[in-house]
Structure 1
């Protein structure tokens, strides 16, 4: 019978361990929490592990080879008592999955601005200036056009740093 087990990872290696465990065919879950990070006048929302250095894997220890987990890149060890892994209480991981999806702790959705739409810049040296939205530069950044000193200047900023004008 498949059950969930805790895996202790190396420091800041949750993503690496998840990748390599999935590559070996294991079902892996690493709950994440959205946190706001400020650095160099930039504010961004990043997903961090809810339990640093831990993730969960679902397996049937009687039918699946589980010893390979301890030798996986990024993994410190499978948590257990003696020679056998210790299963987590039934329903614990499923409850975490439900709460994570209910909380909506993902990155904020990208804005839906249209080219030419007027926006207000909310941070940085151009704070409170009105600009025209040009395009999404990538998944997190937008390009806007500012009218400064009789010229149009292209500025790229994080999408959370602008709002609709009006």
Structure 2
């Protein structure tokens, strides 16, 4: 049994995975957790590690490859050239990818409650503490937090990258 690469249709990696598994194929889709905003709070959402690619395990002699290309979500099997065999992925490489994907999945999500006390750990405001208000996603995808701090005796709302905050105990 060898592993091969499936090229999926845009943003249909999970659909392709599900449909291939429903047909009895062994499929691996490495994912990472991505922070997204839902109701002004952060949630972890699984995203493909390799956009538009997943892996499928096939027996070159006994597997029926014909249904793969017509599977919903699948574009084609990855090949180098028009008349070449699909690209095989060495088992060692796939095991390495699985190990790396596990370590990506173990990152802790920094999710703060409204009015929770936080400290700024980096940047020009380093060392200041304040009250977490909300999270806003910028046009470039960066997550920024609104923090209410006491600056010169007056409460001020400032925006800082979420990654620079830590909870105060």
Tell me, yes or no, whether TM beats 0.5.
yes
Provide the C-alpha distance between the structure 2 equivalents of 1:91 and 1:36, rounded to a whole number of angstroms. 30
Which moves more between the two structures, 7-16 or 28-37?
Answer: 28-37
* Matching residue of 2:56: 57
Provide the C-alpha distance between the structure 2 equivalents of 1:67 and 1:74, rounded to a whole number of angstroms. 15
Which moves more between the two structures, 63-72 or 35-44?
Answer: 35-44
| TM-aligned CA deviation for residue 25 of structure 1 | 0.4
| TM-aligned CA deviation for residue 79 of structure 1 | 1.2
**1:65-104 matches, cutoff 5 A:** 65-81=64-80, 82=83, 84-104=85-105
Check conservation: 1:14, 1:74, Cα contact below 8 A. Answer: yes
User: Compared with structure 1, are the counterparts of its residues 106 and 73 closer, same or farther at alpha carbon in structure 2 (3 Å cutoff)?
Assistant: farther
Q: Secondary structure at the match of 1:124?
A: strand
* Matching residue of 1:5: 4
Normalised to the residue count of structure 2, the TM-score between the two structures is 0.60
Q: Deviations over 1:36-70 (max 9, x none)?
A: 22466332222111100110001112111112111
Provide the C-alpha distance between the structure 1 equivalents of 2:76 and 2:108, rounded to a whole number of angstroms. 30
Provide the C-alpha distance between the structure 2 equivalents of 1:123 and 1:5, rounded to a whole number of angstroms. 47
Tell me, which stretches of 5 or more residues in structure 1 are unaligned?
111-118, 129-163
Provide the C-alpha distance between the structure 1 equivalents of 2:67 and 2:107, rounded to a whole number of angstroms. 31
Tell me, which stretches of 5 or more residues in structure 2 are unaligned?
118-131, 136-146, 149-166
User: Compared with structure 1, are the counterparts of its residues 17 and 106 closer, same or farther at alpha carbon in structure 2 (3 Å cutoff)?
Assistant: farther
Q: CA RMSD in A?
A: 3.3
